[in-house]
Structure 1
């Protein structure tokens, strides 16, 4: 039985082996199975750790890149940290400072590019040339030739010597083939009559602008002359024009209806009259010494055209004019500029700013040949200089000090005065210095009110503004100049170029809307090396941008800055001096850049308003 059962079991086992041969799984001991589970678990854990390390590495890389953008390059590895830890804190600070400066440079570059774009958008696309010259494409390559040459003793001197002379007198010159500076009027070859006339006026040695400017003009070169108020710019263009006219008269006398040979354009009637008087004085000095008589004429508004025409009919050598009257007479063909070869524009930037560009282009179109062109001003921003160069042939730019800077001979006092207290405070300010005193105000109504108040208080005062008759204006200016009156109250018509002797005090009843006008106003004192005082009233009614310009102008002139101005800070003050340029390239203000220029903004707003108004007026006139 046992053997039988054993046999059956063997048979069943054999059948099972044959049927399940494919599914056979060998026996694995418990120890071995545990080991295999542990190894599989370790492998699984190992992959997770690797993935974690990779993700951590990626996140640290991203963080380091972000830090590099914001703070500069940072080390993200253990090795870099080790190297950084060996560097001293001072070296690390200097490295970080360099990186910050590099980042600041990029910000500056961005701002400079933006400013260039703004300046390009507001720049005149049309050159400052005559209509015929623009239409025909006429261009002059060489300056006008004259008969004047520097003395041999000057020509023998080296260029390094000339540079020393310029550097000593703070003369900055730009241009090709620069004429040499000459330190005496005698070496400039002026006649004895002119030298004695200068001596009578107390002018013995030339000023810096005259040292470089007179040889430049006498040599026939086109010129842009920039120098602070009271520096003697007028003589730089009046004396050469007299000598050129004298040379023409000697060669061939001027006949009836001929001329002018030289033309001077001034923005205001008072300045034109003053320039004409200077020319008359030196012409008389020459005539008294036996030279031919030179005739000059003054063409300004408010004066009879008949009297002016009588002078022109006799033949005129030199004409001094304002743009309005000159345009009117040229348009009516009362005279021509056929033989005119000399053009001087005093306070040129003011004329362009006042909207006379088109008039000047039209005046240029009346010239029949090449002329020598001279532009002068105390304030001439880069925008005006670049625009003006289009009318000049190989120009020489002469700059004595920064364009738009105030004279260092003027003590500038800025006082906070409430609007209602201004009138009374004027009387206190008049006690600071003896007469004569100049008082400036923006509005004609304020000028009349101040004048009336001073007369009531027993002060000998006269007033001028654009609303008065020309006879009254001329009489008032002459009375003040001849010391018959102690105080002159005026708008900005008296601020540009006028020369009143011995003025020790200028009072600004209000701060002008333009920092350039402030420079011109205070420049009526502290002239020709004399000392002067300028008192300016300001209050909350003055725009912040103008006050910031004033603050930086005072700082530049090393003047005392009152606390209420010193505490003022602009948002972009750190960027006021970038790329080698100080302040605004449009208006010359030191307290802002062109991107924040209030003058540019005001002009753009005015242009937009005029366009709208013109459209409205055209529409309404068509309807009616």
Structure 2
């Protein structure tokens, strides 16, 4: 019978009371069984309530105590979590955000070191800086440390590092050749700027350096003059033979900046050659230029190369040039090189070095993240900081106007009348650049345009005509915002506010250069995010500029927490981009980079070409 029941798929214990099964047992639901078990345990542990025990008779033994494991098993996880929360020390919102920031910064610091692969593989490391033949005058070497610190405080110079060379208040104290001093005087440069006061002695002495100063402060001379002196010394001691070189390398993020740096180097080299010094051959290595012309200079032997990462990588891959003798490397606008996606190209440049080199990094906006990242490639680096990294130039009057999206092009014509030309107009998108240029030309305004979609010849002619005052307005994307030096620009107009505050600082830094006063007008509207507007508000407050009503009425609900975090961590604003209106967990720049990284990962996963379209 049981076999038949099993064959029919019915459990014998689930039959009917009228069945003939002798071992029939009625099914008890799970919930009822749990209730019965709980009742049994309650009765077993309940003390007796009757007085039937005789006098003098021994009391019944107490029930055995439950073990810790049994108690733990009958305690729910929710009760445990509540207990742990009560016992844990109270954490304020500011402390919680600070802990999140530390974890994010530690995660960012896990990136690969900025060192050659060969040195990492062989375990090669350098403990002492590279030596040069330059020494400061005896008067500077004997300067007391208290005197040097007083001079730095006077010039608002912050230094960090060991054995920092003393500052120099005169170009004559730097022992530069007379032709270079004469060329400086011909450009109206009589005294060094604050970044030059401390930066030039550091670079000339062969020390690795991170230079931070506001736009228009003369950072280019800090790495150009020591580079020329090092190349001149090398040529005098052991002349470069055909096919050899370079001795020094300067990497720039844009063609315009590379061309401008090359022109400065050529100016000083021309003065030296006129005075009878040996010939020093520089090379401009940028895209859009015929490579055969560049190779002719390399075949003769080149001392200095100024390059953009793309063309430099192309030359290395084709084995047209090497860095076997290179001992001097400068990354101009170093943070922008990383932000623009040239980080892997820079690592490849480092892989081509065959010996120790002096490395210098310069920018106006150098967040702590970039500084920590760069220190991996430097030997006993010295950080020279004139003002806060990412601070705006105080010689620029910043005006922020609320303009509706459709009214910007009309209001642009009114803003052009604020100051005489030349005027620089910045846009985020290439299409807007072409549209504004066409509109201005129709209105009779002499305007030229620059953006990444134009070929090199167009960009070169446009910039040259604007710099020579042949054109009144230059409309450009951020390709023209980094390092370009046009001293006569009195007005910069931001047709749209950039999403990253770093780009804003670089844009407005095209005016107010070399001690002159400039004006920067920025259009804002509802298209800007609250994070961007808070960054702009805090930057205007720091620069003691007038706040427009729309920014003055903008409240930050986490302002108290941000102040508390800044006091505890010692870092004001975002450690990733330097913005003052947000912390690193809300950084728009980091979010953008994460999106780009995720998109690249998807491309790698799905593949490219036709296969991706077929999935």
Bucket of the pairwise TM-score, normalised by the shorter protein: 0.7 to 0.9
Q: Identify which of 570, 592, 595 aligns with 2:582.
A: 592
> Distance in 1 between the 2:244 and 2:542 partners?
49
Q: CA deviation at 1:126?
A: 1.0
Map 1:324-339 to 2 at 5 A: 324-339=310-325
Map 1:30-429 to 2 at 5 A: 107-429=93-415
Match of 1:492 in 2: 478
1:210-239 per-position Cα deviation (integer Å, ceiling 9, x unaligned):
000000000000000000000000000000
1:52-80 per-position Cα deviation (integer Å, ceiling 9, x unaligned):
xxxxxxxxxxxxxxxxx99xxxxxxxxxx
Check conservation: 1:227, 1:378, Cα contact below 8 A.
Answer: yes
Match of 1:514 in 2: 500
Check conservation: 1:124, 1:387, Cα contact below 8 A.
Answer: no
Check conservation: 2:499, 2:588, Cα contact below 8 A.
Answer: no
> Distance in 2 between the 1:256 and 1:358 partners?
30
Check conservation: 2:327, 2:355, Cα contact below 8 A.
Answer: yes
Q: CA deviation at 1:325?
A: 0.3
Q: From the two aligned structures, give the one with the greater helix fraction.
A: 1
Check conservation: 2:573, 2:581, Cα contact below 8 A.
Answer: yes
Q: CA deviation at 1:124?
A: 4.2
Q: CA deviation at 1:569?
A: 1.4
> Distance in 1 between the 2:282 and 2:104 partners?
44
> Distance in 2 between the 1:366 and 1:614 partners?
27
1:169-193 per-position Cα deviation (integer Å, ceiling 9, x unaligned):
1000000111110100000001110
> Distance in 2 between the 1:583 and 1:142 partners?
34
Match of 1:452 in 2: 438
> Distance in 2 between the 1:189 and 1:285 partners?
16
Map 1:465-476 to 2 at 5 A: 465-476=451-462
Match of 1:607 in 2: 597
Q: Secondary structure at the match of 2:173?
A: coil
> Distance in 2 between the 1:425 and 1:125 partners?
46
> Distance in 2 between the 1:158 and 1:596 partners?
46
1:331-351 per-position Cα deviation (integer Å, ceiling 9, x unaligned):
111011110000001000011
> Distance in 1 between the 2:94 and 2:149 partners?
33
> Distance in 2 between the 1:576 and 1:411 partners?
27
> Distance in 1 between the 2:309 and 2:603 partners?
26
**4+ aligned runs moved over 6 Å, structure 1:** none
CA 569–103 in structure 1, closer or farther in 2 if over 3 Å, else same: farther
Match of 2:607 in 1: 617
Q: Secondary structure at the match of 1:576?
A: helix
Check conservation: 1:245, 1:261, Cα contact below 8 A.
Answer: yes
Map 1:574-593 to 2 at 5 A: 574-577=560-563, 578=566, 579-593=569-583
> Distance in 1 between the 2:560 and 2:583 partners?
11
Map 1:427-442 to 2 at 5 A: 427-442=413-428
Check conservation: 2:329, 2:358, Cα contact below 8 A.
Answer: yes
Q: CA deviation at 1:620?
A: 6.0
Q: CA deviation at 1:618?
A: 5.2
Check conservation: 1:576, 1:590, Cα contact below 8 A.
Answer: no
1:479-509 per-position Cα deviation (integer Å, ceiling 9, x unaligned):
0000110110000000000001210000000
> Distance in 1 between the 2:561 and 2:486 partners?
39
> Distance in 2 between the 1:611 and 1:344 partners?
31
> Distance in 1 between the 2:511 and 2:209 partners?
26
1:276-309 per-position Cα deviation (integer Å, ceiling 9, x unaligned):
0000000001111111111100000000000000
Which structure 2 segments of 5+ residues have no match? 1-84
> Distance in 2 between the 1:543 and 1:373 partners?
38
Q: Secondary structure at the match of 1:581?
A: coil
Q: Secondary structure at the match of 2:607?
A: helix
Higher Cα Rg, which structure: 1
The CA RMSD measured in Å over matched residues stands at: 1.6
Check conservation: 2:487, 2:514, Cα contact below 8 A.
Answer: no
> Distance in 1 between the 2:237 and 2:301 partners?
15
CA 312–162 in structure 1, closer or farther in 2 if over 3 Å, else same: same
> Distance in 2 between the 1:448 and 1:562 partners?
30
> Distance in 1 between the 2:174 and 2:305 partners?
24
TM-score (norm 2): 0.83
> Distance in 2 between the 1:352 and 1:124 partners?
16
Check conservation: 1:442, 1:510, Cα contact below 8 A.
Answer: yes
Q: Secondary structure at the match of 1:493?
A: helix
Equivalenced residues, count = 524
> Distance in 2 between the 1:336 and 1:122 partners?
32
Q: Identify which of 533, 549, 554 aligns with 1:568.
A: 554
Q: Secondary structure at the match of 2:581?
A: coil
Check conservation: 2:180, 2:268, Cα contact below 8 A.
Answer: yes
Q: CA deviation at 1:605?
A: 2.4
Match of 2:46 in 1: none
Check conservation: 1:264, 1:345, Cα contact below 8 A.
Answer: yes
Check conservation: 1:128, 1:357, Cα contact below 8 A.
Answer: no
Q: Which is worse superposed, 440-449 or 606-615? A: 606-615
1:117-136 per-position Cα deviation (integer Å, ceiling 9, x unaligned):
01112334210111111111
TM-score (norm 1): 0.82
Which structure 1 segments of 5+ residues have no match? 1-68, 71-101
Q: Secondary structure at the match of 2:560?
A: helix
